[in-house]
Amino acid sequence: MNMIVAVDNNFAIGYQGRLLVQIPLDQQLFREMTKNKVIVYGRKTLATFPNEIPLAGRTNIILSEDKDYSVRGAVCVHSMEEALEYLKGYKTEDIFIVGGESIYKQFLPYCDTIHLTKIDYEYKADRYFPDITKSPEWQMTAESDEQTYFDVEYYFQKYERKNF
């Protein structure tokens, strides 16, 4: 399974239910990588999507503990066990975990690739991604040249789980 995430220097990913920054090239990469794939996310992440509607051209799977929660255009699962069982019907390379904080943390042990946009800035934040640079399990296997959006510098990085 894959994860796709944008983080700042502190591995922050959000503040008060919103992304820290919207970078058009990062959003384009997200669209290209997840198109015709399976995306897995939580209820709060759906609230950050345009009009709070599941993303078109993808199989949307929303994990919510609320058993009565349902969303038109998405499959709703209510536990990690249910999510993992449902995902068995797809190739692991076609599955992208897209947030938020608790979903990333729950799925991290099941993922082998992380597509990370590293933003060279420190934002005020209340949601974080695990700092994989401090884990011996992960190694960076690719990094883009420096990118710039107005005064924000960022890099596209790929991390892969090491085989021990």
Backbone angle region of 16, left / alpha / beta, with phi > 0 → left and psi within -120 to 50 → alpha: left
Is cis: bond before 42, omega within 30 of 0?
no
Q: What is the pLDDT of residue 130?
A: 97
Residue 81 belongs to domain spanning: 2-161
Q: For residues 80 and 14, what is the distance between their CA atoms, to the nearest angstrom?
A: 23
**Cβ atoms of 118 and 154 closer than 8 Å:** yes
Q: What is the DSSP string of 30-44?
A: HHHHHTTSEEEEEHH
pLDDT tens-place string over residues 126-139 = 999 999 999 999 99
Q: What is the pLDDT of residue 163?
A: 83
Mean pLDDT of the region 65-89:
96
pLDDT tens-place string over residues 13-62 = 999 999 999 999 999 999 999 999 999 999 999 998 989 999 999 999 99
Count structural domains, the chain: 1
CATH code for the domain of 73: 3.40.430.10
Q: For residues 152 and 138, what is the distance between their CA atoms, to the nearest angstrom?
A: 26
Q: What is the pLDDT of residue 164?
A: 60
**Cβ atoms of 128 and 66 closer than 8 Å:** no
Percent of the chain with pLDDT over 70: 99
